[in-house]
Amino acid sequence: MDFESVAVIGLGYIGLPTAAILATHGVQVLGVDVNAEVVETVNQGRIHIVEPELEAVVSGVTSSGRLRAVCQPEPAAAFIIAVPTPFTDGHAPDVSYIEKAAQSIAPHLRSGVLVILESTSPVGTTERLSRWLAEARPDLHFPHQFGEAADVNVVYCPERVLPGHILHELVYNDRIIGGITPRCAQRAASLYGAFLKGQSFLTNSRTAEMAKLSENAFRDVNIALANELAEIADSFDINPWEVIDLANRHPRVNILQPGPGVGGHCIAVDPWFLVHGAPAQARIIRVAREINDAKPRQVVSKVKQHSARFTAPVIACLGLAYKADIDDLRESPAVEIVRELAAERAGTLLVVEPHVKELPFALQDLSDVKLVDLGEACAKADIILLLVNHRQFKAVDRRLLMEKIVIDTRGVWR
Ligand code: SAJ
């Protein structure tokens, strides 16, 4: 591997684990983040995000000096950009963080440097990145203009790791490596070869960008199908979980699980990049997004129908995380549902989330919302609303549920 030093721009859920893994494989890594607190935390060998086993790895590589965090980029043989790509109002992709990252690394480019974009991006962003770099450095040749004669190589290599399993999946998942030219892709494959045990598949940058968006759109569309089937089953008074379990006994059917909505930073966002880029063609993808986005509201309505029968209803809300067995509350439909129930004064809300010690900011200062333990919530509640399929809830003593109204959005007690 000819990359003795790598700078990773953005020390979030993807950048920090990537920086740490590279550092454990003998690379001298500079971690760059605009947030000074993040930089300080990492330099102390600690982490600011939630990911199993990551802190131990970061602690090891910062104390050995292999990983150093800073606020401003410095020269390196390769730059990996892993910054957020949110959407704006109207679901248009916001690539301004990538543009800022390009401006910050441009002064440090020289002939032979490799620039990799890992952020989930609309089709064509890697070529835009190359153009932004070229504008800032007219003295260098970039691949969108000069092809294989470029001085700097520019590549798209999407992250594909599942929160909660990042350290394993970073190493073992296959990677798609999309170069603006074939040589760009080959050089990036050599860099990832430092730690990758999965296979690398080389292609062009636009194909790689669309492949990444297609993966998350696939999952979103399939979750929307499950959510729609659950609604249909409900309307027939049939148990949706049983329907799906039975349908999945077919050798070529694998329906996903219905739920209270789609959370996290990826699946509820990325499909919009396809819809925005090709609105006339992306029809199923748009409807799927709308179906999944409508789910939290439907759960709120169902709870309110039941709570209307009590004078002072007590509602146990089990789970706040965006999915099972993690403490990540980002973009969680469960948080949205509890907030809506509080806003509509549906009753006293006893929230149980075994993975957190205090309510998240969005739920603080609401007089009708309290964080309690599972036993207390179930004992006091008239209505038990299951929002996340955490291990602890699957193991609940079913006798606690007797004589309660149970709304199980995850099919845990099916
Ligand atoms: N969900 C359901 N029903 C299901 C599966 C998931 O309602 O059957 C919900 C979850 O509860 C959660 C949301 O969908 O609220 C998303 O969870 P997830 O586990 O499907 O995905 P993420 O957002 O944690 O990670 C995804 C992964 N993409 C795919 O599986 C195609 C991951 O590999 C990506 O790297 C990540 O997005 C990303 O960063 O893009």
Q: Is there a single domain that holds both residue 191 and residue 260?
A: no
Among this protein's residues, is 378 annotated catalytic? no
Of 166, 198, 230, the domain-final residue? 198
Closest by CA position to 286, among listed 297, 266, 296, 272:
272
Q: Is there a single domain that holds both residue 272 and residue 169?
A: no
Domain-embedded: residue 186 = yes
Domain-embedded: residue 206 = no
Q: What is the pLDDT of residue 249?
A: 98
- The CATH number linked to 12 is 3.40.50.720
Ligand 1 pocket residues where CB is under 6 Å: 120, 159-163, 215-216, 219, 223, 256-257, 259, 262-264, 266-267, 322-323
Element (H, E) at 55: helix 54-63
Strands 153-156 and 175-179: antiparallel
Q: Is the pLDDT score of 248 beyond 80?
A: yes
Q: Is the pLDDT score of 400 beyond 90?
A: no
Catalytic residue among 71, 184, 197, 212: 212
Q: Is there a single domain that holds both residue 289 and residue 342?
A: yes
Q: Is there a single domain that holds both residue 193 and residue 272?
A: no
Of 144, 170, 198, the domain-final residue? 198
The pLDDT-based confidence of 337 (bands split at 50, 70, 90) is very high
Q: Are 331 and 268 in contact, with CB atoms under 8 Å apart? A: yes
Mutate to test the pocket of ligand 1, among 14, 51, 162 (most ligand atoms within 8 A of CB): 162
Q: What is the pLDDT of residue 150?
A: 98
Domain range spanning residue 404?
Answer: 215-408
Domain-embedded: residue 127 = yes
Domain-embedded: residue 143 = yes
Q: Is there a single domain that holds both residue 100 and residue 130?
A: yes
Of 198, 227, 248, the domain-final residue? 198
Q: Is there a single domain that holds both residue 349 and residue 221?
A: yes
Domain-embedded: residue 207 = no
Q: What is the pLDDT of residue 326?
A: 87
Question: Which of left, alpha, beta for 142 (phi over 0: left; psi -120 to 50: alpha)?
Answer: beta
Residues 283-332 pLDDT 10s? 999 999 999 999 999 999 999 999 999 999 999 999 999 999 988 898 99
Q: Is there a single domain that holds both residue 88 and residue 179?
A: yes
Q: Is the pLDDT score of 359 beyond 60?
A: yes
Sign, CA torsion 67/68/71/73: negative
Domain-embedded: residue 138 = yes
Q: Is there a single domain that holds both residue 319 and residue 350?
A: yes
Q: Is there a single domain that holds both residue 192 and residue 229?
A: no
Q: Are 171 and 21 in contact, with CB atoms under 8 Å apart? A: yes
Residues 76-116 pLDDT 10s? 999 999 999 999 988 999 999 999 999 999 999 999 999 99
Domain-embedded: residue 236 = yes
Catalytic residue among 184, 266, 317, 378: 266
Q: Is there a single domain that holds both residue 44 and residue 70?
A: yes
Residues 11-42 pLDDT 10s? 999 999 999 999 999 999 999 999 999 999 99
Cα distances (Å, whole numbers) of residue 62 to 1, 46, 68, 71, 101: 22, 9, 6, 16, 23
Number of domains in the chain: 2
Among this protein's residues, is 317 annotated catalytic? no
Q: Is there a single domain that holds both residue 125 and residue 231?
A: no
Residues 137-170 pLDDT 10s? 999 999 999 999 999 999 999 999 998 899 999 9
Q: What is the pLDDT of residue 1?
A: 55
Q: Is there a single domain that holds both residue 26 and residue 166?
A: yes
Domain-embedded: residue 413 = no
- Counting from 1 in the atom list of ligand 1, the atom nearest the Cα of 161 is 35
Q: How far is the CA of 218 from the centre of ligand 1 (A)?
A: 10
- Counting from 1 in the atom list of ligand 1, the atom nearest the Cα of 14 is 39
Q: What is the pLDDT of residue 2?
A: 74
Query: What is the chain's length?
Result: 414
